[in-house]
Amino acid sequence: MNPIQIAIDGPASAGKSTIAKILATDLNFVYVDTGAMYRVVTLAAMRKNIVLQDEAAVAAVLPNINISFKPGNPVQRVFLNDEEVTAEIRSVDVTANVSVVSAYAAVRQAMTDLQRDIAAGGGVVMDGRDIGTTVLPNAAVKIFLIASVHERAVRRFKENQAKGMDTTLEDLEAAIEKRDYLDSHREISPLKKATDAIELDTTGLSIAEVVDSVKRIIATK
Ligand code: CDP
Ligand code: CDP
């Protein structure tokens, strides 16, 4: 199997999963959505009515969680134990709480171990916040995608509208800014560009233009 690892990091709604999925399909690599994993842990803790500020209580949920993926179109299907939670992990409530849960040491360790296990199998495109810095520091290709907060909120707004979700642009901008702040300021593996990552500002760029740019970067490696 192709041992190449491609790490795609960046803030919320920068286009990471869209670009990563297209690359994985084109290259015949495995796509790993690490954000989905943190969302599953958050959902599992919320369902147990745990106070999410209680780190030990959240950590105690981990041994009972098995996270798995199955191919799906247009989105990869996500499972918590045997239950499909693909849609539920994208709810406004899970999105609002995930950055609290993802800051905890035990949660990060468990997810990082799982992500490295999956990546050990061969060619992989993995997207998240700390892939280039922590999970796969030796990845051959590291991309850091960014875009203005306004553009990212508009992108998410259109996506939510298509799903019939009732959100406002103002609320989405505020939620994205808050999550970016928490993700960038946490103690363990904060959202940060790896020193050897290539930053790509996707503001005003179409998905095809971003894919093109990333493929050009990959070709130079
Ligand atoms: O798709 P979106 O950008 O909204 O978020 P996501 O990629 O699904 O990630 C959800 C949350 O999980 C992030 O806001 C982070 O708190 C956390 N996360 C993380 O801490 N580390 C990662 N490698 C991926 C996600
Ligand atoms: O994974 P991440 O949260 O970084 O973003 P995403 O879920 O891949 O992208 C968020 C939304 O922006 C999706 O609806 C994409 O179709 C859209 N998008 C876009 O309109 N233009 C781009 N250049 C990249 C993504």
Distance of CA 221 to the CA centre of its chain: 24
Q: Cβ(112)–Cβ(102) under 8 Å?
A: no
- From the annotation, which residues make up the binding site for ATP? 10-18
**Residue 65 pLDDT:** 97
Instruction: Check if 75 has its Cβ closer than 6 Å to any atom of ligand 2.
Output: no
Mutate which of 31, 38, 43, 69 for ligand 1 pocket (most atoms within 8 A of beta carbon) = 38
Dihedral sign for Cα atoms in the order 97, 103, 109, 114:
positive
Q: Tokens 């959505």 identify what position?
A: 33
**Residue 154 pLDDT:** 97
Q: Cβ(27)–Cβ(125) under 8 Å?
A: yes
**What's the one-letter identity of residue 134?**
T
Instruction: Check if 155 has its Cβ closer than 6 Å to any atom of ligand 2.
Output: yes
Average pLDDT, the chain: 96
* pLDDT tens digits, one per residue of 69-92: 998 888 889 999 999 999 999 999
- 26: which strand partners? none
Between the CA of 146 and the centroid of ligand 1 the distance, in Å, is 14
Instruction: Check if 18 has its Cβ closer than 6 Å to any atom of ligand 2.
Output: yes
Instruction: Check if 147 has its Cβ closer than 6 Å to any atom of ligand 2.
Output: no
**Residue 2 pLDDT:** 58
* Cα separation, 62 vs 136, whole angstroms: 22
Residue nearest to atom 23 of ligand 1 (CA): 128
Q: Which two tokens stand for residue 54?
A: 């209680």
- The helix/strand count (H/E) of the chain reads as 8, 8
Sequence-distant (6+) residues with CB within 8 A of 136 are 5, 7, 115, 116, 119, 126
Q: pLDDT-based confidence at 221, cuts 50/70/90?
A: confident
CA-21 nearest atom, ligand 2: 8
